[in-house]
Amino acid sequence: MIRVVLPYHLRTLARVGGEVKLEVEGQVTQRSVLDALEACYPVLRGTIRDHVTQQRRPFLRFFACEQDLSHELPDAPLPDAVATGAEPFLVIGAIAGG
Amino acid sequence: MSSVRVLVGTRKGAFVLTSDGKRKRWAVTGPHFGGWEIYHLKGSPVDPNRLYASQTSGWFGQIIQRSNDGGKTWEAPGGGMTTAPSGMPVVESNKFVYDTSPETGKPLTTHQWYDGTQHPWEFKRVWHLEPSLTNPDTVYAGVEDAALFRSTDGGQTWQEQAGLRGHGTGPKWQPGAGGMGLHTILLDPSDPERIYIAISAAGAFRTNDAGKTWKPINRGLKSQYIPDPNAEVGHCVHHIALHRSRPSVLFMQKHWDVMRSDDAGDSWQEVSGNLPTDFGFVIDVHAHEPDTIYVVPIKSDSEHYPPKGKLRVYRSRTGGNDWEALTKGLPQRNCYVNVLRDAMAVDSLDSCGVYFGTTGGQLLASPDAGDTWAPIVRYLPAVLSVEVQTLP
């Protein structure tokens, strides 16, 4: 079971409370986790990755296990602790005021 | 007895304000989509409980929301699970993809960037949603970077009306300080094939064939901030309005200048007349008097607040040139708010109501065509748009 922590506005949009728990088939990567997330919560399509290019939206970052994984390749394996559910995969919005 | 529903888009959510025909006591709900920018929301003239909203965020992009109960509940159209052959869900209500050349697959055109160089089109957000006059599932979206999209399935999917960008003047379009947005969409109630749109800073355009082909309609506009002040395109049109009984007469608030056209935009004449300043954003037309129009003069393009700190709506009963200041109930000192281009609307009760929202979060209403004003609410987030529905 993969644990994903979404920023507040995406939790509201997807109508979920705390962490999201996902089943991910095969290798656990950014792409497979986000595919599983969007399959469960279709309204999130286009909000984390661009619809067409599948690039991460510029004001979002991916963290896990105290590492910034934002610039890892989408098919690179995520840390074992994420794959086993010991640690969550964090989708973080850039801090900004206003 | 008729009632009124006011739809307010703000920097931090949407609000729905309702009242009976007296328009003295108001119920306010919201914020809907709290914390998100709601550029615009508008109801279908055919089914007033069908509302569309543009929900946007610099972080998460564009979301389209739809309500079937007058704003009590909302959904992202098609947000339920629909699986494509690849196994992925199909959700495209927030997918706005520009057309490419069918021959080369390359972008249709580029536009001028702030520094004068050419720049590719990049989707940012939906500025304006205009539901069809005849079908509640058909709705147009004016977007930044400027283009017109249409949905015929209640907002689930969107297709660009690419004749607008493809007609040849795209390389001369340029963004204003607020971006290059298509912000005004006027559907001609007498001719379903005729649509007017306006873009900052490209100008006004018209189609006579339901969006297949477009032509610029800017003759008579003069703009000192472009190399040729009389150019075919490049003008910063802020808003256009028409009266449904006379859809070939258009009123325009340009960056500077209030303009009028009596020939569906083929030519324009200035009607700024005795306004204290002819810079501004909003313009609207009385529901029952086609020659009664409203503007809110703003000091200048460098100082976006009312002259002398006095918030005044100006009304012309002669289709322009002769203007009277409307001040009763409006702050007449120390007022430095702005009124943005989509933030004025009218109702169609016997005594026409006029409404506008400010960047200071005030929503002001006049139940008597502008003679007197009072705030409905005072402390909303900055108001981006105001629409009014008159309900049976």
The CATH number of the domain where B332 resides is what?
2.130.10.10
Report which of B177, B168, B169, B174 is spatially closest to residue B113, judged by C-alpha positions.
B174
Average pLDDT for chain A: 94
pLDDT at B128 over 80: yes
Task: Measure CB to CB from residue A13 to each of B63, B87, B90 and give the nearest one.
Answer: B63
Give the model confidence (pLDDT) of B100-127 as tens digits: 998 899 999 999 999 999 999 999 999 9
Tell me whether B37 touches chain A (CB under 8 Å).
no
- Residue B146 belongs to what domain range? 90-356+363-375
Q: Is residue B335 included in any domain, yes or no?
A: yes
Q: Does residue B285 fall inside a structural domain?
A: yes
B128-134 mean pLDDT: 98
User: Scanning the structure block, which residue is given the tokens 């279709």?
Assistant: A42
What is residue B163's three-state secondary structure? Answer: helix
Residue A14 has pLDDT above 60, yes or no: yes
Q: Which residue of A has its CA nearest to B59?
A: A59
Residue B95, chain A, CB below 8 Å: the answer is: yes
- Are the Cβ atoms of B76 and A35 closer than 8 angstroms? no
Residue B203 lies in a domain: yes
Q: Kindly state the tokens that stand for B166.
A: 């493809």
Residue B198 predicted with pLDDT over 60: yes
pLDDT of residue B88: 66
pLDDT tens for each residue of B204-225:
999 999 999 999 999 999 999 8
pLDDT band with cut points at 50, 70 and 90 for residue B192: very high
Element (H, E) at B316: strand B313-316
CATH tag, A2-93: 3.10.20.30
HSE toward the beta carbon, residue B347, CA cutoff 13 A? 29
Q: Is B168 inside a domain boundary?
A: yes
Indicate if the pLDDT at residue B87 is higher than 70: no
**Does an H or E element contain B165, and which?**
helix B163-166
Which whole number is the average pLDDT over B271-277? 98
Tell me the mean pLDDT in the region A29-47: 94
Any domain includes B14: no
Per-residue CA distances from B273 to B69, B283, B374 (Å): 44, 15, 27
Alpha carbon distance B62, B93 (integer Å): 9
User: Residue B82 has what pLDDT?
Assistant: 58
Q: How far is CA A74 from CA A35, A55, B258, in A?
A: 11, 9, 53
The owner of tokens 């007296």 is B22
Q: With a CB-CB cutoff of 8 Å, which residues 39-58 of chain A face chain B? A: 39, 42-43, 45-48, 50-52, 57
- B108 in any annotated domain: yes
Chain B: residue whose CA lies nearest to A95: B59
Query: Under 8 Å CB-to-CB from B102, ≥6 apart: which residues?
Result: none
Q: What is the mean pLDDT of residues B169-190?
A: 95
Query: Phi-psi category of A84—alpha, beta or left, where left has phi over 0 and alpha has psi -120 to 50?
Result: alpha
CA distance B247 to B259: 15
CA distance B362 to B178: 21
Give the count of domains, chain B. Answer: 1
| Residue A98 pLDDT level (bands cut at 50, 70, 90) | low
Please indicate, yes or no, if residue B71 is contained in any of the structural domains. no
Among B34, B60, B89, select the one facing A10 at the smallest CB separation: B60
The answer as to whether B311 is a domain residue is yes
Say yes or no for a CB contact (<8 Å) between A60 and B59. Answer: yes
List the B250-254 sheet strands across, edge first. B237-242, B250-254, B258-261, B269-270
The closest alpha carbon to B221, from B165, B272, B184, B172, belongs to B272
For residue B30, is pLDDT > 70?
yes
